[in-house]
Amino acid sequence: MTKKFEFAVPALGLVWITFMIGLGACQIGQGGRITPGTYTASAKGHASEVSVEVTVDSTGNITQVQVNAAGETPKIGGEAAPKMAAWVLEAQRLDVDTISGATVTSLAVLTATEKALKQAGVNTALLKAKGGGSASNEEITVDVGVIGGGASGTAGAAAAIDQQAKVLMVEATGNIGGISRFFAGGPFAVESHLQYEAGEEYSKIKKAAVFQTINDYAHYINYAPLTRAIVEKSGDTIRWLETWGITFHVNPETPQIAHRDNDMKWRMYHWYDLFSYEASDKAAIDVVHENLAKRGLDLRLNTTATELLIDSQGRVTGFIARKKDGGTLTVHAKAVILATGGYAGNHEMMQEYYNTPYLGLWGVDGSGIKMAWEAGAAKWDTASTLLHGNGLAAAANPGEISVANSAFDRIVRSPLLWIDQSGNRFVNEEVVWDTAYTSNAGYSVGGVYFILVDKATLDAYTGGKTLIMDTAIGGPNMAEGDFTVLAEEGVRQGIITKGGTLEELAEKLGMDPDRLIRNVQEYNQAIQTKQDVFGKSAVSLVYPVSAGPFYAAKMQISNLGTLGGVRVNEKLQATDTDLKPIPGLYVVGNNAAGFYGNITSYPPYEGLATGFAWNSGRIAGEYAAAEAKASGK
């Protein structure tokens, strides 16, 4: 068997990733008739169409795969797509594991590959587990059943095992970690031993102050007993996670410019020593799972929970799951922890609760939340989500250069002129220095807006004369580049609109020309006087939009997941509308409502979501194990 894997280097802007392999013949034709050749197909990914070219020989062997995922989020779908193609090629099958946190892109690669294979006459049913006739049913009894292998589910399993509980975990994808594998630098914590060791600037932040700050930010619509429980647990959870193998450090400075004058926003952040903005083979959560395996966790990957088991008294007594081979796994448990990661992957639910199609579809479909609702849990905080950051919209005509990953990133990270879809300026663009506030502002105009610049501004950036830029998530791309050339490539790809005049630009964008011109004139006047009605500081009032050609870069905000759905109490027990617990059911992480309050605006305190995941899971695991022990007496 011979193999050849060719990986593109992201820094070079290459898009097509080629995989080649030679394997023994296998008869997978439809009626024995396969037409060798190269076939093209596509499927909808997270943010764009994901395209594949699949080459098949006369025996049905897949000998080459090319995948184009240029429009997907670079650090998530952009990295997942080539891995999926390689796995399909290696296995010569369509039932390979999907990649946790990039499920939508993973499924797009599989769907597009199947479409291409069908064009060649390949019987794709034989390349899936259900077509192999090997399904088997299984039944097992444990103390605690955990549904979901992200940070919150992992913490739940670890805490329950600490209490000597027998634990089984199911994870729908082929690997653990969820979205936290990609963007979670670490959790927030208050009064941890690391903060005391780091000195007074860190240790002066107290639990009571953080608790009141979150209450105030939520305008008291959060569930204060839950918020208090999470905050008070957080410092000790750092030491607890260290017993499970994770190591941390606190940084001497904030990665976000906007947080420099507010210690609480960044000195609570506890970074994983293993965290990297680049792809890595091992994440902090992998360390925990290595130790969980040693301590007896029964982990079932590619196993999707479909139904909670509920007895005649309304107690949750386990769940039913679908295994990779198509068989059924029935889990009897004295307590269940539901940690399925929200519903950000469900287009219909996102449209219903957030009223815009422009938030993206990272994450899962909300099936876990729906199971809790069906068990009697109350629907709560359905409009709370982790809006976080922004980026260029997906290319309509992807090319070999990814504008989003190029030096043009410096335009995206700068407080230049932002215009909404009607032609209005809508914010002090210095919010770009805070990833949460950037997305909040973008959401206020529907999730899409434009960065408007002229040729003179592009020339200035080509010469290195930039404004103060957003430094989060590794900082701006400082590679050399001709910004006009990059803008023209964006025009070709359909993510930047060009107009010789503002009237022409407005027409192409479907805006009212008078409104756009009026807003641009007002902005240019603010630059001259250094007085801005939106409050932008003089240091950012530098580049007017005065002489064509003009360029409008289409931006879309980022959403890292929903943050609610199921009402819970301070023990993370699911409750009904009267706050009465649903016996045997705990709901954690992105499924659990109440910590943030029913507000779309995510609080700008670094590590808050990851901290909630670990702490909510830990609390639920402790109480679930205690409930299981009590019910066994």
41-60 pLDDT per residue, tens: 888 776 678 889 999 887 78
How is residue 61 annotated by DSSP?
-
Render pLDDT for 94-111 as a digit per residue (tens, 0 to 9): 888 777 667 778 888 988
Query: What does R_g of the chain's alpha carbons equal in angstroms?
Result: 25
Render pLDDT for 243-298 as a digit per residue (tens, 0 to 9): 999 999 999 999 899 999 999 999 999 999 998 777 677 899 999 999 999 999 99
Give the Å distances, CA to CA, from 368 to 52, 318, 343, 612: 31, 13, 8, 18
Decide which of 1 and 525 is more confident: 525
| CATH number for the domain formed by residue range(s) 139-282+324-367+375-384+563-631 | 3.50.50.60
Question: Is the model's pLDDT at 335 over the cut of 90?
Answer: yes
Domain boundaries, the chain: 2-132, 139-282+324-367+375-384+563-631, 387-559
Q: Which pLDDT score is estimated for 285?
A: 95
Distance CA(519)–CA(525), nearest Å, equals 10
Residue 156: CB partners within 8 Å, gap ≥ 6? Answer: 144, 146, 337, 339, 586, 588, 617, 618, 620, 621, 624
Q: Which pLDDT score is estimated for 91?
A: 79
> What would the DSSP string read from start to end of 452-505?
EEEHHHHHHHHTT--------TT--------HHHHHHHHHHHTSEEEESSHHHH
Q: Which pLDDT score is estimated for 101?
A: 60
Decide which of 559 and 153 is more confident: 153
Distance CA(593)–CA(433), nearest Å, equals 28
Q: How many CA atoms lie within 13 A of 246 on its CB side?
A: 26
Give the Å distances, CA to CA, from 181 to 203, 279, 286, 366, 610: 28, 10, 9, 20, 11
Equal CATH topology for 139-282+324-367+375-384+563-631 and 387-559: no
H helix or E strand, kind and range, residue 139: strand 138-147
Q: Average pLDDT of the chain?
A: 90
- Which phi-psi region, left, alpha or beta, contains residue 242 (left: φ > 0; alpha: ψ -120 to 50)? alpha
Q: How confident is the model at residue 589 (pLDDT cuts 50, 70, 90)?
A: very high
CATH for 387-559, options being 3.30.70.270, 3.90.700.10, 3.50.50.60, 3.30.565.10:
3.90.700.10
* Burial class of residue 397 (count of CB atoms within 10 Å of its CB; 0-12, 13-18, 19+): exposed
3-state SS class at 125:
helix
CB 502, CB 409: distance < 8 Å: no
Find tokens 């950051």 and name the residue: 389
Paired tokens of 152: 């919150």
Residue 184: CB partners within 8 Å, gap ≥ 6? Answer: 151, 272, 275, 609, 610, 613
Distance CA(258)–CA(429), nearest Å, equals 12
| CATH number for the domain formed by residue range(s) 2-132 | 3.90.1010.20
Decide which of 560 and 20 is more confident: 560
Residue 141: CB partners within 8 Å, gap ≥ 6? Answer: 331, 332, 333
Paired tokens of 502: 């503002």
